[in-house]
C-alpha cells in the first residue's frame, strides 16, 4: 500500500494569502506560520473534520 499525502488548500484568508495543509511522514505541516492559527483535525465515523481558528494577530 502506497503512502498517501493529504493536501488541503484553503484560499484566500487575505487576498494574497494561501494556506496549504499537508501531511508528510505522519505529521501535518502548513505553508504559513503556525502561530497565526490553530488547526484541529479529528476523525469521527471515518470522516475527517478540519477546524481552523485564526489568531487575532492574523485577522
pLDDT at res. 42 = 67
**Residue 2 belongs to a domain:** no
pLDDT at res. 25 = 74
**Residue 11 belongs to a domain:** yes
Contact present, 30 and 21 (Cβ < 8 Å): yes
pLDDT at res. 6 = 55
**Residue 36 belongs to a domain:** yes
**Residue 47 belongs to a domain:** yes
pTM, two decimal places: 0.27
Angle 33-38-44 from CA coordinates, rounded to 5° = 135
**Residue 16 belongs to a domain:** yes
**Residue 15 belongs to a domain:** yes
pLDDT at res. 58 = 47
**Residue 1 belongs to a domain:** no
Query: In total, how many domains does the chain have?
Result: 1
pLDDT at res. 59 = 46
Give the residue numbers spanning the domain of 16: 7-54
CA 3/CA 1 separation, integer angstroms: 7
**Residue 43 belongs to a domain:** yes
Contact present, 21 and 50 (Cβ < 8 Å): yes
State the 10-residue block means of pLDDT for the chain, 59 residues long. Answer: 52 54 69 62 69 58
Amino acid at each position: 500500500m502506497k503512502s498517501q499525502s493529504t493536501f488541503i488548500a484553503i484560499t484566500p484568508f487575505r487576498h494574497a494569502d494561501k494556506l496549504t495543509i499537508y501531511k508528510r511522514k505522519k505529521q501535518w505541516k502548513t505553508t504559513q506560520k503556525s502561530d497565526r492559527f490553530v488547526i484541529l483535525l479529528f476523525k469521527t465515523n471515518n470522516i475527517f473534520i478540519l477546524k481552523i481558528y485564526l489568531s487575532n494577530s492574523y485577522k
